């Protein structure tokens, strides 16, 4: 029995799964690591902890696969996007990696915009300069830690550091590279124009491959330690959102997914680059060779509910059960989920969370439901922007922690005003990475063949007309709140750092 392993280098843990040639998950393991916050709005991790966790996870998955008499055909990698791993000429990590949700680079983002020009940057890279992306992090290192900057010989994304340890190869894939701001979206390779404008040595960047392409094999010593046979191939893999799209079968026009994890993501497949000149949604390369995607991102989706759980001291089941008893619209209460700034459509690291419309009638349950509704209103703004660009998903496949909740799913159907569908296997990015591992391991000819294993459940959650009408009216109010309060949000953000 052929098995492929998918490894996901997440924000809080490394997760690995073994997927057999029939698409069944036959083994799974996870290993956590800490998130570092040395300053307000800074997030970092030690890349060594990613590799340590990966070794634990791989060894456990390989052991469980062996117990079921499976042989590992290939490994696929995925992980958190945008992070910056800085290596010296000997391959040693210079400093902790700056992560996707690190907000320290506002000044550097502005400098990049001035150097390249906002319109030109969006035309080449498909995106404006945002604090989360890799390029501003490189410039921050130059500005703030020049001694470390002088040592840089390689700049890698998180999953690609694990690849380097696993295979000795310096490589990435087009979907993850598209989130660096160094990639030319159309050529699917590094932009010499951007690199020259920013005075960044393009040789620091790894070679760019397509997601199912082989990027070496597991090093013999590592294979021995993990119990792998010699010569197991490693696929280029993909950024977490693109890999999750493979795992949910979003591989053709008219298909989109909605993921509610720590962040929330709307992902729509496009067969050619569709770029929003205003930079409200991301244009990225897909993990499907030669294909593309539009992404809208809410930074604090499930993260908002986690914050609320921690603040209230209640667990998720009780919070959601009580929220389910509240009528749609939470009696006129709205929530802006900007707890860590916001990405789509505002691209504002200083945006702040808000409960708006509180009255003496509102209870904790009202506030929980309003919070969940607010997360979906934010993602609805992303969906509306995608629709404005001429991409109209006929239905949406739901994934992430939100897909397991009846309330989260129904809210998505009612607020998006489109049917939403679950999958028989919901393992997210790790599942997509495993399918890519199967392709590079030659279990399947290509991504299209591999994704025939992705099967939706027959049941769908349909919009409820009465609730959808209520949400449409509330959504109009929601959209007006940020423009009216943004200036004061920025003033509060500045005061908080005094």
Question: CA geometry: angle at 403 spanning 402 and 404, to 5°?
Answer: 90
DSSP state of 280: S
| Torsion angles phi and psi, residue 86, rounded to 5 | -105, 125
Length of the chain measured in residues: 498
Instruction: Evaluate whether 247 touches 82 at the Cβ level (below 8 Å).
Output: no
**CA atoms of 25 and 473, how far apart (whole Å):** 43
**CA atoms of 347 and 53, how far apart (whole Å):** 32
Tokens of 431: 């599942």
Whose CA is closest to 3, among 58, 67, 70? 70
| Torsion angles phi and psi, residue 46, rounded to 5 | -85, 115
> 275 Cβ partners below 8 Å, 6+ apart?
122, 123, 126, 185, 283
**CA atoms of 454 and 248, how far apart (whole Å):** 6
**CA atoms of 102 and 109, how far apart (whole Å):** 12
Token look-up 């990027």 returns: 215
SS3 call for 68:
coil
> 193 Cβ partners below 8 Å, 6+ apart?
116, 124, 184
SS3 call for 107:
helix
**CA atoms of 242 and 294, how far apart (whole Å):** 10
Tell me the C-alpha to C-alpha distance, in Å, between residue 45 and each of 48, 85, 113.
9, 9, 27
Token look-up 């209640």 returns: 314
The catalytically annotated residue of 8, 20, 102, 240 is 240
Q: Is 406 annotated in the active site?
A: no
Tokens of 312: 């209230």
Question: Any idea of the CA torsion for 431, 435, 441, 443, to the nearest 10 degrees?
Answer: 130
Instruction: Evaluate whether 323 touches 372 at the Cβ level (below 8 Å).
Output: yes
Q: What is the 3-state secondary structure (H, E, C) of 241-278?
A: HHHHHHHCCCCCCCEEEEEECCCEEEEEEECCCCCCCC
Residues marked as catalytic: 240
């Amino acid at each position: 029995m052929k098995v492929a392993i998918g490894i996901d280098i997440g924000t809080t843990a490394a997760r690995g799964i073994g997927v057999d040639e029939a698409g069944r998950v036959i083994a799974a393991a996870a290993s956590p690591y800490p998130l570092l916050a040395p300053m307000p709005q800074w997030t970092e991790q030690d890349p060594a902890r990613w590799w340590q966790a990966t070794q634990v996870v791989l060894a456990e998955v390989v052991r469980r696969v062996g117990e079921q008499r499976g042989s590992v055909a290939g490994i696929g990698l995925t992980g958190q996007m945008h992070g910056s791993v800085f290596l010296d000429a000997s391959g040693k990590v210079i400093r902790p990696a700056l992560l996707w949700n690190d907000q320290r680079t506002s000044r550097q983002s502005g400098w990049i915009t001035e150097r390249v020009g906002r319109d030109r940057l969006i035309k080449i890279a498909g995106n404006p300069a945002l604090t989360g992306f890799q390029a501003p992090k490189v410039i921050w290192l130059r500005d703030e830690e020049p001694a470390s900057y002088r040592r840089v010989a390689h700049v890698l994304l998180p999953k690609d550091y694990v690849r380097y340890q696993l295979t000795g190869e310096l490589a990435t894939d087009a979907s993850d590279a598209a989130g660096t701001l160094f990639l030319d979206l159309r050529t699917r390779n590094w932009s010499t124009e951007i690199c020259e404008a920013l005075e960044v040595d393009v040789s620091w960047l790894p070679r760019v491959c397509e997601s199912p392409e082989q990027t070496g094999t597991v090093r013999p010593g590592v294979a021995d330690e993990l119990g792998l046979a010699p010569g197991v191939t490693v696929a280029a893999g993909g950024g977490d959102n693109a890999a999750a799209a493979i795992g949910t079968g979003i591989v053709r026009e008219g298909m989109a997914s909605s993921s509610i994890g720590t962040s929330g993501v709307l992902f729509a497949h496009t067969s050619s680059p569709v770029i929003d000149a205003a930079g409200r949604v991301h244009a990225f390369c897909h993990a499907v060779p030669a294909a593309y995607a539009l992404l809208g991102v809410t930074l604090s989706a499930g993260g908002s509910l986690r914050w609320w759980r921690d603040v209230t001291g209640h667990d998720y089941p009780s919070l959601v059960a009580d929220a389910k008893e509240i009528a749609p619209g939470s009696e006129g209460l709205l929530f802006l989920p900007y707890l860590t700034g916001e990405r789509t459509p505002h691209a504002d690291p200083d945006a702040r969370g808000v409960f708006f419309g509180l009255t003496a009638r509102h209870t904790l349950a009202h506030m929980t439901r309003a919070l969940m509704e607010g997360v979906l209103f934010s993602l609805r703004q992303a969906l509306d922007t995608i629709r404005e660009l001429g991409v109209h998903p006929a239905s949406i496949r739901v994934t992430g922690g939100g897909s397991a909740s009846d309330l989260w799913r129904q809210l998505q159907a009612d607020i998006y005003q489109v049917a939403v569908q679950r999958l028989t296997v919901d393992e997210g990015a790790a599942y997509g990475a495993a399918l890519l591992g199967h392709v590079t391991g030659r279990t399947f000819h290509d991504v299209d063949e591999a994704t025939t294993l992705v099967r939706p459940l027959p049941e769908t959650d349909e919009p409820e007309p009465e609730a959808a009408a209520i949400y449409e009216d509330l959504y109009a109010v929601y959209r007006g709140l940020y423009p009216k309060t943004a200036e004061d949000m920025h003033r509060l953000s500045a005061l908080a750092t005094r």
